Amino acid sequence: MTKQPDTFLKSRLKSFKYAFNGLSEGWRELNFRIHIVAAGVAILLGLVLGISRDEWLAVVIVIGLVLFAELVNTSLERLADVVSPQWDDRIKVVKDVAAAAVFVAALMALVVGVVVFVPPLIALFV
C-alpha cells in the first residue's frame, strides 16, 4: 500500500522539523557559533572582494564541510555521553577523532581562505 500524498508531504515536513531541531542543538555549541561567524566573515569578504564563481564554490564547500563536521562531532559527543556517562578511554578516542575531523575541515577552510582572500587583499594595499 502506498502512502497518501498528504501523508507523504507531512512526513517530509517532519523531516525538515527534525533537521531544524538538529541545527538548534548545533547552535547551542560555542564552536558551531564561532564557525557561523567565520562563515559570515568569509561571505562578506567574498562579496567585498568580488571573488570568482570558482572561488565562491570553494568557499561555500569548505563552509559546508566545517559546519557538517561540527554537527557530526556534536551528535557523536552527545551519543557517547548517553552510551557511557562515566569516563571511558574508548569513548575518549571516539570524541577525539570526531574533534579531529572538525580540526581537519577547519584547516582545509583556512587553506582555501588564504588562497582565495590573501591575493586580492594584498592587491588592495599594494
The residues that are catalytic are 70
Distance CA 120, CA 89 (A): 47
Distance CA 40, CA 7 (A): 37
Helix axes of 53-83 and 89-125: crossing angle, nearest 10 degrees: 160
